[in-house]
Amino acid sequence: MRRLTPLMAALCLVALAIDGGPAHAKPENDLRIGSRWEFKLEGNPGTGYTWRLDAAASHGLDLIKLESLGYMSGKKTRPGMVGAPAPFVFRLTCLKPGDADLWFQYVGPTGKRSKRYEVSVHCH
């Protein structure tokens, strides 16, 4: 499988934007074995919703170590403020070479799922 060069990827994003495609592309990272990457997904801890890995929809989980670091303090909010947005942080470490495609679900206290998000990583 041929990988896109940064220039080719940028041109694809421009073409999608012009054609009215997705507003954003999934984050993709190219990491060396043993490297770590922290990424954030926006959420709202006051609502009881949290981000969880959808292992059944994901692949390449044996290539990585994924740690859920939870919510970080939101920007310009008071501690304990209900309804204040905050980033939910995950740390990914590459363990073996290959490609991993991860799907995350934004899950409420009753189990209701409202959003999905995809993250891809190439470990080498």
Look at residue 2 and tell me if it is in a domain. Answer: no
Look at residue 43 and tell me if it is in a domain. Answer: yes
Question: Exposed/middle/buried for 27, CB within 10 Å: 0-12, 13-18, 19+?
Answer: middle
% of the chain beyond a pLDDT of 70:
69
Closest among 117, 120, 123 to 53, alpha carbons compared: 117
Indicate which CATH number applies to the domain containing 62: 2.60.40.2020
Look at residue 6 and tell me if it is in a domain. Answer: no
Look at residue 8 and tell me if it is in a domain. Answer: no
> What is the pTM (predicted TM-score) of this model?
0.70
Cβ–Cβ < 8 Å for 26, 120 = yes
pLDDT digits (tens, 9 = 90+) for 39-78: 999 998 888 899 999 999 999 999 999 999 999 875 555 6
Look at residue 68 and tell me if it is in a domain. Answer: yes
Confidence bin at 21 (pLDDT 50/70/90): very low
Look at residue 61 and tell me if it is in a domain. Answer: yes
| 11 Cβ neighbours under 8 A, 6+ residues apart | none
Cβ–Cβ < 8 Å for 53, 100 = no
Look at residue 116 and tell me if it is in a domain. Answer: yes
- Tally of structural domains, the chain: 1
Does position 12 have pLDDT exceeding 80, yes or no?
no
Distance separating alpha carbons of residues 85 and 102, to the nearest angstrom? 23
Distance separating alpha carbons of residues 53 and 104, to the nearest angstrom? 4
Terminal Cα-to-Cα distance of the chain (whole angstroms): 15
Enclosing domain of residue 106: 27-123
Q: How many CB atoms lie within 10 A of CB 73?
A: 10
Cβ–Cβ < 8 Å for 63, 94 = yes
Look at residue 7 and tell me if it is in a domain. Answer: no
Q: How many CB atoms lie within 10 A of CB 94?
A: 23
